[in-house]
Amino acid sequence: MSRCLVIINPVSGGGAARRYVMELEWKLSTLFDTIEVKFTAGDGDATRFAREATEAGFNAVFCMGGDGTVSETVNGIAQGGFNTNFGFIPVGTVNDMARALNIPRRPLEAIRALSHDNIRSIDIGHCNDRYFCNNVAAGVIPKVVEEVSPKEKQILGPLAYFLRAGQALFTTKDYTYHIVTEDHDFVCKSPLVLALLTNVVSSFERFMPSASVDDGYMRIIIFKEYFIMDILSVLPLIMSGSIYNSRYATILKVQQARIELLSDVENFPTNIDGDKGPCMPLDMKVLPGVLRVYAPTKK
């Protein structure tokens, strides 16, 4: 008998998830014998629900929410040993994972597209004691993300992040890092270092066109000291997918990395899949193809 769990974040995307519960349940009833539905009440619930279901042998765990809910659910599945399939319906503000996996960003379309024929294996990252499916950031972006309120997201959508980023440009500074990978060992200064598993960051779908969710690598993107000053030149490069080829960033394609902060900063901001991240140093590695996801096969 096949079983699946559905985890709903009732506040994601300004409460959008509630509207699609019936449709999702109906669709899943055509794919599984039994369906259990759980609503999150706050931080950590999605992880706990997903871990318990994975350990209990559920065939699949689905979630409906934004990137935060997706990441929390993936952490639960990872803690349970990755022994279940994963699916999600994007109803958040940015929905980077849906963009990276070509999952429709209209919830009803994403629900209709769920099929046992559309499952693929993707890489997951491990950072200190957590897992990530898209990125870990240190520097400017974490500060910006932390400062965006749910109300701003609801009203402005992804624009809320851009407006905050604009403010951050005037307050940010460079930090000194020691970066060690399987192929590199160096010290550098940067306002922003990103570890990225997919091609998408903050809704920029062409950010890293050479990256894919299942290539077994992450990209470490070290923005150069002057990129903030030249932001008007940098933005078109980010939007057109050519930042990797520019003088504004150094890009390393690696399977593991240790990023240590040499600057003396208290409460240094890091971010993991859009949520508050771990303390420095960051010890990261790619776990290739460990998560089976309901998503259209590669284009």
Looking at the Cβ atoms of 40 and 59, the one nearer to ligand ATP is: 40
Looking at the Cβ atoms of 59 and 95, the one nearer to ligand ATP is: 95
- According to CB under 6 A, which residues from 208 to 237 bind ligand ATP? none
Looking at the Cβ atoms of 54 and 95, the one nearer to ligand ATP is: 95
Looking at the Cβ atoms of 66 and 269, the one nearer to ligand ATP is: 66
Looking at the Cβ atoms of 41 and 262, the one nearer to ligand ATP is: 41
Look at strands 60-65 and 3-8 and give their pairing. parallel
Three-state secondary-structure class, residue 45: helix
Instruction: Report, in Å, the least distance between residue 168 CB and ligand ATP.
Output: 17
Among 51, 65, 251, 292, binds ligand ATP (CB under 6 A): 65
Among 27, 54, 61, 66, binds ligand ATP (CB under 6 A): 66
Considering the rule CB under 6 A, would residue 68 count as an interface residue with ligand ATP?
Answer: yes
Among 93, 134, 135, 198, binds ligand ATP (CB under 6 A): 93
- According to CB under 6 A, which residues from 259 to 288 bind ligand ATP? 274
Among 11, 122, 201, 295, binds ligand ATP (CB under 6 A): 11
Read off the amino acid at residue 177. Y
Q: Select from 187, 270, 173, 159 the least CA-distant residue to 227.
A: 173
Count, in order, helices (H) and strands (E) of the chain: 10, 16
Instruction: Report, in Å, the least distance between residue 254 CB and ligand ATP.
Output: 26
Site string for ligand ATP, 120-159 (x = CB under 6 A): ---------------------------------x------
Are the CB atoms for 8 and 65 separated by under 8 Å?
yes
Instruction: Report, in Å, the least distance between residue 8 CB and ligand ATP.
Output: 9
How many Cβ atoms sit within 10 Å of the Cβ of residue 83? 12
Looking at the Cβ atoms of 95 and 190, the one nearer to ligand ATP is: 95
**In angstroms, what is the C-alpha Rg of the chain?**
19
Residues 6+ away with beta carbon under 8 Å from 86: 60, 61, 62, 73, 74, 77, 291, 292, 293, 294
Q: How many residues bind ligand ATP (CB under 6 A)?
A: 20
Looking at the Cβ atoms of 70 and 228, the one nearer to ligand ATP is: 70
Kindly report each contact of residues 41-49 with a partner whose C-beta sits within 8 Å and lies 24 or more positions away, as own/partner: 44/72, 45/7, 45/72, 46/7, 46/9, 46/72, 46/73, 46/76, 47/72, 47/73, 47/75, 47/76, 47/79, 48/76, 49/5, 49/7, 49/73, 49/76
Q: Which helix (DSSP H) or strand (DSSP E) does residue 167 occupy?
A: helix 159-168
User: Which residues of the shown chain bind ligand ATP in the complex (CB under 6 A)?
Assistant: 9-13, 40-43, 65-69, 92-95, 153, 274
